């Protein structure tokens, strides 16, 4: 399915602006962005709950614009589920089948399959208010899946659940989606959710697509500063391009940062001109923190820094360090494995105020457009 | 029981103010709701009952009542629902304008519709006699039916309007997404979700029609219903036993309806509270074009009729002798504004009653939901009980209960004020209870944590937050009380005349000009009083969910 030049404005401000996107059959595509970025509007345009000002919504090559939502073959799971409060779980599940006048026997069979698939056995007679959040979520999903839609739309379906349940349902959803092979478009503002669930992530901001890539792509090679900062934590480094194209290492480019040479990745095929100034980004876990008693590795990029603060996060320790010549402090995440947390003496972990140096392995940094 | 005593003990030690308020509220409800009803129930002798149940005349009146209630309730519900659907869901052109038309009707006393009917369609009616040259009349069942529909459909409209607005459009969109067409969405989602509201409106209207006798009196002619029979028996024949028995007959269907509605409400309450909540901000799906335009036509028709019926009363006020001499005159207007006593009493008593009703509604709603006092269910029932008591019966009950010791109140203004307040207590109580339910208990808890007693928390946190609900209660009670007849007609005296009663008497004597003039004056002063309230109380006054901005 594809979206071509989709546009929708509320008043003067466009909520979705020139959205073009290909969603491969059977894939799990996530629209990721802050609230107000237009991701929910985009989803509603696909579902037919809103009509676009311009553009096309192609499903199986057929334009759906102008078709009412009940004829699109698209299943939508709403943010707050929109379960019918006056209907039991069973009646909610078979609602769509009734609307299609599916005969009773087939209806019962499909509902039974959904009940088994989603682990709703024993709850068929209950009403929505008698269900837990997770169960409501499953009914909302099952209600759509019994219709065997060509495209499944989900609008932040886990946002009102607690963290533990969210993790479990996320894993279940991923397995279910793979098993059924249903093309899915998922909307969320939670980057972790987007990265862990998707085959393809679409990062949006103020109605416009910022980047379409694999989860690894948007995380490791963000297209621009917005994507870098929205998808995870980003350390920014002012840089100047020294070499690009064939002069640079394969697929990347060579920069100068704080007076030292640095090799970096490129987010896409575009290449900056040599001499251009800009920003590079480094993820906190890719930075190596060196104390005075550890010998620095040979080669690579390094800089002197001062520790400002330190916090414990269970699996890792996070340092706020200041680099001369860089305005925002950097975050450095140091994993706490048995070799570090267990055996390194406390004196080996730099305290606030300590002078340290930081190093970047080759291609730890990525160029931002 | 011991738990109840313990909570009383706790109140006595820590919260005497709330305990005092609880005692006063309980005493008031016992003295003015429970006791009069018990008194009237004991009044008829066995002979009275035998006579009432066997006399063909009363049997016919009972049958007439049932027919009137059935027809008027059904038509009011249909019209009110269609109107509410037209302005909330179908988005007909001019929806904002149409949305205030029924409210305009609510501002005018119900019997004004009856009066307008006579002026428009009566033996010498403007439409029938002057324009069409007909000698037919509206007197009889069809006249009563039409007048009651016009009087009561605004209630259905108000309740259903709120209900339609409360249905999360996401549910309707979800149904569309699951393959339902427009008609199926309406039948399978929208209408089932407003069913509890429909039943609530049905109850209110049915009991209103049961107890109302302004319209049957004006346009019933020889068509007698129980309410008019109660009145003639008491005032014409001073036969307390018969009129009490006739009034108690009214109580049978009323209580049945009340119980049915309570049961349905209890069964659906929790289920219908929106699951999840937080409405996604989607607009409701559009309705089919033919439906939209038929509803538009209906709105136009009703609006024209409302304008005509209200306008004719004003015109009638300025006409020398309706049906005979249509010349312009100010004579009736002069008379009307000479009735300062009656108009003043109407306003004074209605505002006092509205104040009492609002305070009591808030107090009982708070006590039942947050007060932690014993016998909450009893308090709740006693407050809702007047909803099941037709106005005429309440009037007879008050006459019987307060005609002698221990409380002799007949002939005083107080008895009128209390009767009015009690009549609208159930509605006010429901409004306040619903609003308190919306308030997070954490607000109360934090007030307590910061050192406030429960009574202080009620006065300093809950009441200010409930200002819109309190204003709605006050306005509702005030407007209804100004135009009420059924209860107060038994309670007025030479010293305490009321405009509404005077209008009915004038109309009965055939003084149409004076009746119309006084009715017009009453409508004008009511509107003026409300306008004053708006100016003074400002933004918090929302007339049945309509803010001053008109949204």
Neighbours of B53 (CB within 10 A): 12
With a pLDDT cut of 90, the percent of chain A lying above it is 41
Confidence of residue B358 (pLDDT cuts 50, 70, 90): very high
Confidence of residue B133 (pLDDT cuts 50, 70, 90): low
Domain boundaries, chain A: 2-220, 232-282, 285-362
- Higher pLDDT residue, B163 or B75? B75
pLDDT at residue B548 is higher than 50 = no
The tokens describing B189, both together, are: 């989602």
Number of CB pairs, chain A paired with chain B, less than 8 A apart: 101
Q: Note whether A284 and A233 are within 8 A (CB).
A: yes
Domain A285-362: CATH class, spelled out: mainly beta
- Cβ of B181 within 8 Å of Cβ of A160? The answer is no
pLDDT at residue B360, as a whole number: 94
Q: Tell me the mean pLDDT in the region A141-158.
A: 90
Which domains occur in chain B, in start order? 16-43+330-551 (1.10.3720.10), 55-271+291-304 (1.10.3720.10)
CA dist., res. B208 & res. B149, Å (int): 11
Distance from CA of B274 to the nearest CA of A (A): 7
- Residue A77, chain B, CB below 8 Å: the answer is no
pLDDT at residue B52 is higher than 50 = yes
Confidence of residue A108 (pLDDT cuts 50, 70, 90): very high
- Cβ of B276 within 8 Å of Cβ of A84? The answer is no
Please write the tens of the pLDDT for every residue from A63-84.
998 888 888 888 889 888 888 8
- Residue A102, chain B, CB below 8 Å: the answer is no
- Higher pLDDT residue, B1 or B492? B492
List the strands of the sheet with A13-22, edge to edge. A13-22, A2-10, A54-59, A62-63
Distance from CA of B173 to the nearest CA of A (A): 7
CA dist., res. A67 & res. A58, Å (int): 12
- Cβ of B174 within 8 Å of Cβ of A82? The answer is yes
Please write the tens of the pLDDT for every residue from A296-345.
666 678 888 899 999 988 888 899 999 988 888 999 998 876 654 444 44
Please name which of A93, A122, A119, A88 lies closest in space to residue A108, comparing C-alpha atoms. Answer: A93
Considering only alpha carbons, which residue of chain B is nearest residue A133? B276
Please name which of B519, B110, B112, B106 lies closest in space to residue B318, comparing C-alpha atoms. Answer: B519
- Higher pLDDT residue, A350 or A32? A32
pLDDT at residue B447 is higher than 90 = no
Mutation for A interface: B172, B183, B270, B275, most A CBs within 10 A: B275
Chain A residues within an 8 Å CB radius of B181: 68, 70, 99
CATH match for A2-220 among 3.40.50.300, 3.90.600.10, 3.90.1300.10, 1.10.260.40: 3.40.50.300
Q: How many helices (H) and strands (E) does chain B have?
A: 28, 2
Please write the tens of the pLDDT for every residue from B171-211.
888 898 888 888 888 889 988 888 888 888 898 899 888 88
- Which residue(s) pair with A183 in the sheet? A151
Considering only alpha carbons, which residue of chain B is nearest residue A70? B179
Q: Note whether B499 and B345 are within 8 A (CB).
A: yes
Lowest mean pLDDT among A214-223, B161-170, B437-446, B527-536: B437-446
Please name which of A361, A204, A343, A346 lies closest in space to residue A282, comparing C-alpha atoms. Answer: A361
pLDDT at residue B551, as a whole number: 26
pLDDT at residue A145 is higher than 70 = yes
Please name which of B164, B142, B156 lies closest in space to residue B203, comparing C-alpha atoms. Answer: B156
Chain A residues within an 8 Å CB radius of B270: 129
Of A199-208, A239-248, B148-157, B517-526, highest mean pLDDT: A199-208
The tokens describing A120, both together, are: 């709703």
H or E element, residue A305: strand A301-312
- Residue A67, chain B, CB below 8 Å: the answer is no
- Residue B281, chain A, CB below 8 Å: the answer is no
CA dist., res. A264 & res. A267, Å (int): 10
pLDDT at residue B464, as a whole number: 82
- Cβ of B178 within 8 Å of Cβ of A83? The answer is no
pLDDT at residue B223, as a whole number: 85
Choose the closest CB to B177 out of A40, A47, A81: A47
Chain A residues within an 8 Å CB radius of B166: none
CB-based contacts of A12, cutoff 8 Å, min separation 6: none
- Residue B194, chain A, CB below 8 Å: the answer is no
Angle, alpha carbons B411-B412-B417 (nearest 5°) = 120
Lowest mean pLDDT among B265-269, B277-281, B291-295, B318-322: B277-281
């Amino acid at each position: 399915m594809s979206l071509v030049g989709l546009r929708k404005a509320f008043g003067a401000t466009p909520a979705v602006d020139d959205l073009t996107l290909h969603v491969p059959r059977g894939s799990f595509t996530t629209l990721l962005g802050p609230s107000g970025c237009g991701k929910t509007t985009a989803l509603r345009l696909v579902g037919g709950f809103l009509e676009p000002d311009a553009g096309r919504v192609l499903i199986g090559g057929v334009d759906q614009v102008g078709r009412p939502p009940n004829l699109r073959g698209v299943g939508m799971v709403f943010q707050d589920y929109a379960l019918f409060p006056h209907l039991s779980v069973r009646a909610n599940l078979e609602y769509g089948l009734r609307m299609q006048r599916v005969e009773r026997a087939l209806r019962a069979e499909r509902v039974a399959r959904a009940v088994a698939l989603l682990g709703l056995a024993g709850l068929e007679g209950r009403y929505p208010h008698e269900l837990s959040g997770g169960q409501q979520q499953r009914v909302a999903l099952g209600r759509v899946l019994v219709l065997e839609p060509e495209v499944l739309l989900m609008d932040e379906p886990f946002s009102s659940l607690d963290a533990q349940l969210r993790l479990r349902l996320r894993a279940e959803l991923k397995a279910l989606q793979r098993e059924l092979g249903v093309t899915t478009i998922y909307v969320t503002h939670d980057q972790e959710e987007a990265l862990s669930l998707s085959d393809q992530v679409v990062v949006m901001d103020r109605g416009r697509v910022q980047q379409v890539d694999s989860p690894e792509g948007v995380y490791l090679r963000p297209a621009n500063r917005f994507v870098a900062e929205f998808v995870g934590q980003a350390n920014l480094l002012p840089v100047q391009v020294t070499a690009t194209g064939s002069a640079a290492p394969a697929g990347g480019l060579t920069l100068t940062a704080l007076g030292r040479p640095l090799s970096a990745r490129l987010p896409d095929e575009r290449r900056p001109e040599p001499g251009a100034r800009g920003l590079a980004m480094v993820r906190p876990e890719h930075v190596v923190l060196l104390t005075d008693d550890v010998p620095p590795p040979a080669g690579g990029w390094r800089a002197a820094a001062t520790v400002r603060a330190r916090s414990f996060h269970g699996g890792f320790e996070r340092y706020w360090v200041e680099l001369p010549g860089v305005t925002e402090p950097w975050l450095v995440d140091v994993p706490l494995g048995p070799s570090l947390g267990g055996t390194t003496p406390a004196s080996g972990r730099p305290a606030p105020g300590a002078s340290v140096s930081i190093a970047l392995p080759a291609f730890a940094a990525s160029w931002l457009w | 029981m011991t738990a109840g005593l313990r909570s009383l003990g706790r109140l006595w030690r820590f919260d005497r103010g709330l305990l005092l308020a609880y005692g006063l509220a309980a005493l008031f409800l016992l003295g003015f709701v429970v006791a009069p009803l018990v008194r009237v129930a004991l009044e008829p002798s066995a002979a009275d009952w035998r006579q009432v149940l066997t006399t063909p005349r009363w049997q016919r009146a009972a049958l007439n009542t049932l027919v009137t209630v059935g027809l008027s309730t059904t038509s009011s519900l249909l019209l009110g629902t269609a109107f509410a659907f037209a302005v909330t869901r179908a988005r007909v052109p001019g929806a904002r304008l149409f949305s205030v038309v029924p409210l305009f009707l609510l501002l005018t006393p119900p019997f004004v519709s009856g009066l307008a009917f006579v002026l428009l369609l009566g033996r010498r009616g403007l439409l029938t006699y002057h324009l069409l040259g007909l000698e037919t009349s509206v007197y009889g069942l069809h006249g009563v039916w039409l007048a009651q529909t016009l009087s009561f459909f605004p209630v259905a409209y108000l309740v259903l309007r709120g209900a339609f607005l409360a249905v999360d459009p996401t549910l309707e969109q979800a149904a569309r997404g699951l393959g339902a067409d427009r008609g199926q969405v309406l039948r399978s989602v929208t209408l089932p979700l407003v069913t509890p509201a429909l039943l609530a409106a049905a109850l209110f209207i049915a009991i209103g029609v049961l107890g109302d006798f302004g319209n049957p009196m004006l346009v019933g002619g020889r068509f007698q219903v129980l309410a008019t029979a109660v009145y003639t028996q008491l005032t014409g024949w001073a036969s307390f036993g018969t009129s009490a028995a006739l009034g108690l007959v009214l109580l049978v269907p009323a209580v049945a309806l009340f119980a049915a509605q309570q049961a349905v409400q209890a069964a659906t309450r929790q289920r219908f509270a929106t699951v999840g909540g937080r409405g996604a901000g989607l607009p409701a799906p559009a309705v089919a074009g033919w439906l939209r335009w038929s509803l538009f036509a209906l709105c136009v028709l009703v609006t024209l009729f409302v304008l005509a019926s209200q306008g004719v009363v004003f015109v009638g006020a300025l006409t020398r002798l309706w049906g005979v001499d249509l010349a312009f005159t100010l004579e009736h207007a002069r008379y009307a504004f000479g009735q300062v006593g009656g108009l003043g009493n109407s306003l004074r008593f209605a505002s006092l009653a509205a104040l009492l009703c609002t305070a009591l509604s808030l107090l009982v709603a708070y006590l039942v939901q947050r007060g932690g006092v014993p016998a909450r269910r009893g308090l709740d029932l006693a407050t809702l009980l007047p909803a099941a008591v037709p106005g005429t019966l309440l009037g007879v009950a008050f006459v019987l209960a307060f005609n002698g010791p221990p409380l002799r109140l007949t002939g005083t203004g107080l008895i009128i004020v209390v009767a009015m307040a009690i009549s609208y207590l159930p509605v006010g109580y429901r409004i306040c209870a619903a609003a308190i339910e919306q308030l997070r208990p954490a607000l109360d808890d934090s007030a307590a944590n910061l050192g406030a007693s429960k009574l202080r928390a009620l006065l300093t946190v809950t009441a200010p937050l409930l200002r819109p609900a309190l204003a709605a209660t006050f306005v509702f009670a005030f407007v209804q009380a100004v135009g009420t007849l059924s209860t107060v007609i038994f309670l007025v005296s030479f010293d305490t005349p009321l405009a509404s009663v005077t209008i009915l008497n004038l109309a009965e004597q055939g003084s149409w000009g004076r009746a119309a003039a006084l009715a017009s004056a009453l409508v004008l002063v009511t509107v003026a009083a409300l306008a004053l309230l708006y100016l003074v109380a400002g933004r918090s006054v929302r007339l049945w969910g309509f803010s001053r901005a008109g949204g």
